[in-house]
C-alpha cells in the first residue's frame, strides 16, 4: 500500500498535479483562430497534449449576457468540454 501511494504521488508530481487550462477573449467575444494570441492549438478533443495551448479552443458562452470566450484544457488529452472546467469570472460579468 505504501509503495502504491508513493507511485501515485510521483506520477502526480510528474504530470504537474492537475489539468492545464487556458482562456482568451477579445472585445467580449471569442477572438477567432486568426486573431487568437495564445489559444492557437489544433489538437482535437481526445488526442494527447502537453498543455492547454496545444488543444483546439472551444468558444464558450457566458451564463448571462452576450459575452463569449475561448477555453482549452489538457489533462493528458484535450478535453471535449473545457467550458465546464474553467473560471469564466474574468470574462462573464
Q: Are 30 and 17 in contact (CB under 8 A)?
A: no
Tell me the pLDDT tens digit for each residue of 43-87.
Answer: 999 999 999 999 999 999 998 888 999 999 999 999 999 998 888
Query: What value does the mean pLDDT take over residues 11-26?
Result: 70
- Cβ neighbours of residue 44 under 8 Å, at least 6 residues apart? 56, 78
- Element containing residue 8 per DSSP (H, E): helix 2-14
Whole-number average pLDDT of the chain: 82
- Per the model's pLDDT, the better-predicted residue between 71 and 18 turns out to be 71
Which one, of 61, 51, 63, 62, lies nearest residue 22 by Cα? 51
- Cβ neighbours of residue 33 under 8 Å, at least 6 residues apart? 40
The pTM of this model reads 0.76
Query: What value does the mean pLDDT take over residues 13-24?
Result: 72
Residue 6 has pLDDT above 60, yes or no: no
Amino acid at each position: 500500500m505504501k509503495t502504491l501511494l508513493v507511485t501515485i504521488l510521483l506520477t502526480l508530481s510528474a504530470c504537474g498535479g492537475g489539468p492545464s487550462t487556458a482562456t482568451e477573449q477579445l472585445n467580449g467575444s471569442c477572438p477567432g483562430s486568426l486573431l487568437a494570441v495564445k489559444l492557437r492549438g489544433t489538437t482535437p478533443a481526445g488526442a494527447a497534449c502537453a498543455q492547454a495551448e496545444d488543444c483546439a479552443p472551444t468558444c464558450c458562452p457566458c451564463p448571462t449576457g452576450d459575452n463569449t470566450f475561448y477555453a482549452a484544457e489538457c489533462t493528458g488529452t484535450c478535453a471535449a468540454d473545457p467550458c465546464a472546467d474553467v473560471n469564466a469570472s474574468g470574462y462573464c460579468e
